[in-house]
Amino acid sequence: MQRRWSLQAASLRQDGLFRATTATVILSRLGGIFSATPLQEDLFQETRVVEAIDIFVSHSWAADRWAKFLAMCFALNLSLAMKSTLAAILLGQCLLGLLPAQSVSMVFLVAMDVPVLAFFLVLLFGQQITCGLWGPSLWLDRICVNQNIQSDKKRAIAGLAAFVARSSQMLVLWDETYFQRLWCNFELSVFLKCHDVRKLQFVPLWLPPWLLTTMTCCYAGGRLAAIAAAFADIQALEDQSGSQHAGRGTALAFGTNRLLKYIADGQGFLVFFIPSLIFSIVSFHAKLQGHRLMLQSIRNFDLRAADCAIEEDRLQIEAQVCELFDGLEEPIIVSPIESTATFSDSEEISLPVLSVEERRSIRAVTGYANDGECIGAFNSYVHGPLLNAVMEDLGDEVQAPWLVCSLSFLPATLCFVALTLTSAPDFRSAGFPSAELFVAENYVQILCMTLLILPLAHPLLLRAMSFFATIDGPGVLRGMLALAAGIAIYSFLLLVSSILTGMLEVFVLTLHVAFLAGFLVSFLLVFVASRSLFGGSHWLWQLPEISCRCLART
């Protein structure tokens, strides 16, 4: 099959039909490319003939255009957005370090507002900002297939498998209808027949809107914290007698009292997470239902029952499926080393590619599978390797990527950074000998809290909502239970965070080995909990492989 697809791709390329486009072309129209209405311009002219394709974009036309636009931005620009945000954070830290003490509003503007704005701008408009530099080549049916010349359109559709096979990676924009579409399942199966599953990336269409909205809600909480910090007495938030008490009594007693105060004060941040919690409850309900539907549609998939708008396409796909799963390989004759033939020892002579009718004739007179058995093998392939690939990339309905869960708390992270910087001038009232030690210790606390502890909120909430979904009763009851569970989860995580970070702080102030042991034990328990909830697979702990800056064809 690989040789057939290579020859087919070469033929299409020779006729100027094997084309690809750029991310700039797709994203510059704010999702208009995915609209169901006819386009007013001929975008085929903005494609170019290529030898191979970096990313094949697979999607269902029944999905929402804006959701697919955000999913494309997420897949192509997330890595660049994270790098830009990190650069904005470092630049802001340097700027605040060089300038004299600034007001609370200015500190929050530089330390929180600007990096969050940079993340949103680059995520949504990164291709335009970079003018498409380092961007991958993409294949999208609406652009890369000539919609005006029917003969060219028919040839391109017939050669769909060649486009898939000659693509380095596949990006799946998944929605609830994706696995109900015959073409989508065929594209996936061809790709998995030719490539490793690690070259396949699923982006659920619920994920990017949830991330952006959750970050917005979290940013709103950070803005409330900024207002509170501007009107509050910063010194009142700290233990002004910490330095004096450190010299009285035992270090253990002082540290214990400070830790208890730390735990009590930590619960005050709960109110700032309520906006993002409420939105997560609403969006996670749709996520749980959609994810279950996706897995169920894969497990129950049947080629003959899949949706296909044009019946002729169904016959064409079934014929190609039979080629994929009939067990026939293209025959190749290789000259042995001892041969006295005039051609080179390494030269191969391949027999002509078999047509559909020829393959059926061979299957009819041999023991190879007939059409029905080939379709059954295809169904089994969807139920087996394809389902395993989806589970490896997305997990089950109660799982969420660690990277995305961490990013959803980015505004909270930057809010804590800003609070640290506004409190730094009063380091002595907090019991620290220097402002540098105060800032460094607080930054370690922030990293522990926002990278290990707060991301646990989303998978825990998903598990709670999945359990509540089994309870018979009105939806309002399940919603109230989910809200109560969410508040309890955030309160518990803030408690864990206070214990972990409080242990670190009192150890820095007292150097008592008991608090160091408490910090290490707490850190180990939190790390184990994070690994158990998120796992260690690449889609949970590493950056997405598809990126306009880091993609490389292999």
Residue 65 lies in a domain: no
Site of tokens 């619960």: 267
448-482 burial: b if 16+ Cβ within 10 Å, else e: bbbebbbbbbbbbbbbbbbebeeeeeeeeebbebb
Strands 19-22 and 48-49, how do they pair? antiparallel
Strands 167-174 and 53-59, how do they pair? parallel
Specify the DSSP class assigned to residue 273: G
Q: How many beta carbons lie within 10 A of that of residue 420, not counting itself?
A: 19
* DSSP H/E element including 48: strand 48-49
Using one digit for the tens of pLDDT, what is the confidence trace for 532-545?
A: 888 754 343 444 44
Residues above pLDDT 70, as percent of the chain: 82
Q: Tell me which residue of 24, 147, 124 sits closest to 77, measured CA to CA.
A: 124
Structural domains counted in the chain: 1
Work out the pLDDT band at 319, boundaries 50, 70, 90.
confident
* DSSP H/E element including 265: helix 251-266
Q: Collapsing DSSP states into helix, strand and coil, what is residue 181?
A: strand
Task: Determine contact, residues 79/549, Cβ cutoff 8 Å.
Answer: yes
- The pLDDT assigned to 361 comes to 55
Residue 249 lies in a domain: yes
Residue 475 lies in a domain: yes
Work out the pLDDT band at 518, boundaries 50, 70, 90.
very high
Between these two residues, 501 and 3, which has the higher pLDDT value? Answer: 501
Distance CA 460, CA 75 (A): 25
What is the number of helices (H) and of strands (E) in the chain?
Answer: 24, 8
Please give the single-letter amino acid code of residue 531: R
- The pLDDT assigned to 348 comes to 42
Residue 519 lies in a domain: yes
Q: Tell me which residue of 214, 10, 189 sits closest to 119, measured CA to CA.
A: 214
Using one digit for the tens of pLDDT, what is the confidence trace for 440-482?
A: 999 999 999 989 999 999 999 999 999 988 887 787 888 899 9
Distance CA 49, CA 410 (A): 41
Section 114-119 average pLDDT: 96
Residue 306 lies in a domain: no
Residue 513 lies in a domain: yes
Using one digit for the tens of pLDDT, what is the confidence trace for 176-214?
A: 888 888 888 888 878 877 887 778 888 888 889 889 988
Q: Collapsing DSSP states into helix, strand and coil, what is residue 349?
A: strand
Distance CA 237, CA 483 (A): 29
Is residue 144 over pLDDT 50? yes
Output the six-digit token pair for 119: 């993340």
Q: Tell me which residue of 54, 19, 12 sits closest to 142, measured CA to CA.
A: 19
Residue 257's domain comprises 213-297+396-541
Distance CA 486, CA 464 (A): 8
- The pLDDT assigned to 116 comes to 96
Is residue 36 over pLDDT 80? no
Output the six-digit token pair for 245: 């008490």
Residue 490 lies in a domain: yes
Residue 1 lies in a domain: no
